[in-house]
Structure 1
Amino acid sequence: MINSTFQKIEDCEATNKALYKFYAAIMIMIVLLALPLNASVLHLFIFKLKFWKSNTNNVFLFNLVLADILLLFCLPIKAYNFIQGERRSTNDTVCKAMLFMLFLNRGASIAFLTVTSIDRYFNVVHPGRKNLLKTLKKSPQISILIWLLLLPLTIPTMLKTFECCNSHKSVEEREDTLIKDVVDSLREVVFFTQIVIPFIILVYCTVRIVNRLRKKTVGDRTKLKRAVFLVTSVMVVFSFCFLPCALGRMVLLIIRVEVNDESIQDKAAVAFDGLMVLSYMDCLLDPLVCCFCSTKFKAIYLSKYFPFFAKDVTVPSESSSRSPSHPKQNTII
């Protein structure tokens, strides 16, 4: 029965076209709001802060914004497919290219959010200890390395069945091939580790920085409070955007393996697609992380784009931020 619910799931046809048009509207709204916001942030990093000359987190934050912009360019195609009642493009090449871009840039966004929190952890909890990250962040090599390491992780996710929720079918439907099982398992491992491992790291960094603030009785508690505010904001972004889709994927896999009811499988797949749309909201929230990271960036951004909000804001100068009398102070606080 070609028009059955199960056949539509297999063909990546949306069974609830009205809901998928709503998903498409959300993605279009995200693009309209996030694209100019991220473009303005990217402009400041390149032309005002000159991130490649900085010894701060600016290199990481620039790559975070770059990943978001590349992801935003994919969303109109995704929205078009949803409007047409399709979960993915029917063109195999376009489908695989979209999956490659979506998972590469979402992975990069997660990676640079995590690295930013790790760097803040070392600066606050182990301020005097030399570490590899502190050395490498002075040059763009570590950012290039992160992008290169993410490339092989996108290979298993480029298989078109992933987005149509067909991994690990029920025993009655599954193909009895070892290669198929290995590919399905590898694909799911990549999806979950890309979210779960960074989340564990973020929780650890947040707890350690908060404990450091509690034990701090003398010195500059303002910097520590800003560090806590930063890692907390990263945790909020991560928890709001990425954890729900990981939980939705887990539920979907359980239903596909254990429940032999096409209507329930379809509802789980539709819910998962909606949670994936929610994950694209990080393109709107990441610029806020940039403001929490850098007092200088916030001051420049307000004075450049919202001067009526920046009348009493003073932009920190490079000379003052790198003064020998304040060796521990920098523009990222």
Structure 2
Amino acid sequence: MASPKDIVLNGTMSTLPSCTYSEDFKRYLLPAVYSMVFILGLPLNFTVILRIWRSRKALTRNTVYMLNLAMADFLYVCSLPLLIYNYASHDYWPFGEPACKLVRFQFYSNLHCSIMFLTCISFHRYLGICHPLATWHKSGGRRFAWMVCGAVWAVVFALCAPTFRFAATGTQRNRTVCYDLSEPSLSEKYFPYGMALTCLGFLVPFLAIVACYCRMACVLCQGRGMGGAGAIPAAQEKKDKAARMIIIVVAVFAISFLPFHLTKTAYLLVRTLQGAPCEVRNMYSIIYKSTRPFASMNSVLDPILFYFTQTKFRNSTRSLVLRITTLRDKGSAV
């Protein structure tokens, strides 16, 4: 949504051309997607947290990263009811500016926490596959993993803290709204921060993951060609787990992270261009805001990563399903 705004640039006053965005699609798309993420993400992430906590005495570094990833997702999912109400009510925000700032911070902190923890998980798996005999990466154990997680939370908080400055409420079409990125008058000031957040919070981890996965793929392909039927079951299970992780993490990036950051970058560029036609700004706004809810899909996809990379959890889930099926069949036979 945009309207005529006076912007102070280098001490001078300039006026953006009048432009009203057509955003009726948000009333239908965003509540539907956010409702699905809330309904699925809340129990899935709570189950992951509970499962890991119950086996906390046998935590590995990988499960420590998974636990922190699930905690970040769970905190974000808890904020979704406010957004569901907001978009279902034509962008009306009755919850006040502090809640607006917190919800926007929750979104970006979850997004970049997910990226960072997936990077940690990927790098940990890379070391196990590509450098299995090295001892330097095995030292420290869980304590080292918790230190890494603490550093990730601190870095993400520092990266996303400016959200509390830029996110704000305002008045559009005689109703209170909660701006997504920043007020229109702060578009130019937000641009360098938005680009820095994308580069540091997405591009750098993404390139690191790509480099790890390319190397892992080479090792896994070589291992399959040389191992054959005589491969050690434990070693083969480790490689299969790594292959599943690669597929799921790539899916998370393909669905959630990559489209969102590409469209966000394009939208930021167009939004700061002086004299950009209203039709162009409206088009890029629609494209960006259509991918934004899918960035929250990682809160549903991350628990799937835990399921497919944790053999004990997968086996216990299968046993539970089989027991339920058996009891149901017995009840039907009576």
In the superposition, the TM-score normalised over structure 1's length comes to 0.78
- Identity %, equivalent residues: 22
Counting strand residues as a fraction of each chain, which structure ranks higher?
Answer: 2
Per-residue deviation, residues 145-185 of structure 1 (Å, max 9, x unmatched): 22122211112233127954558x8xxx889xxxx64x531
Q: What are the equivalent positions in structure 2 for 1:134-213 lying under 5 Å apart?
A: 134-139=138-143, 140-158=146-164, 159-160=166-167, 163-165=179-181, 181=189, 184-213=191-220
Tell me the equivalent position of 2:122: 117
Structure 2 gap ranges (5+):
6-15, 169-177, 328-334
Runs (4+) of structure 1 exceeding 4 A deviation are 7-10, 87-90, 308-311
Tell me the equivalent position of 1:81: 86
Tell me the equivalent position of 2:31: 24
- The root-mean-square deviation of aligned C-alpha atoms, in Å, is 3.3
Aligned partner of 1:145: which letter? A
Structure 2 CA distance for aligned equivalents of residues 93 and 25 of structure 1? 25
3-state DSSP class of the match of 2:207?
helix
Contact 2:26 2:87 in 1 (8 A): no
Structure 2 CA distance for aligned equivalents of residues 19 and 289 of structure 1? 29
Question: Is 1:59 equivalent to 2:64 in the alignment?
Answer: yes
3-state DSSP class of the match of 1:6?
coil
Contact 1:14 1:86 in 2 (8 A): no
Tell me the equivalent position of 1:316: none
Q: How many residues align?
A: 296
Question: Is 1:42 equivalent to 2:49 in the alignment?
Answer: yes
Contact 1:6 1:262 in 2 (8 A): no
Structure 1 CA distance for aligned equivalents of residues 106 and 252 of structure 2? 21
Structure 1 CA distance for aligned equivalents of residues 284 and 93 of structure 2? 17
Moved more, 14-23 or 120-129: 14-23
Q: 1:257 to 1:32 in 2, by over 3 A?
A: same
Structure 1 CA distance for aligned equivalents of residues 237 and 219 of structure 2? 12
| Partner residue of 2:247 out of 197, 213, 232 | 232
Q: 1:19 to 1:297 in 2, by over 3 A?
A: same
Tell me the equivalent position of 1:71: 76
3-state DSSP class of the match of 1:17?
coil
Could you tell me how far 1:136 is from its partner in structure 2?
Answer: 4.2
Moved more, 223-232 or 208-217: 223-232
Q: What are the equivalent positions in structure 2 for 1:260-271 lying under 5 Å apart?
A: 260-271=276-287
In the superposition, the TM-score normalised over structure 2's length comes to 0.77
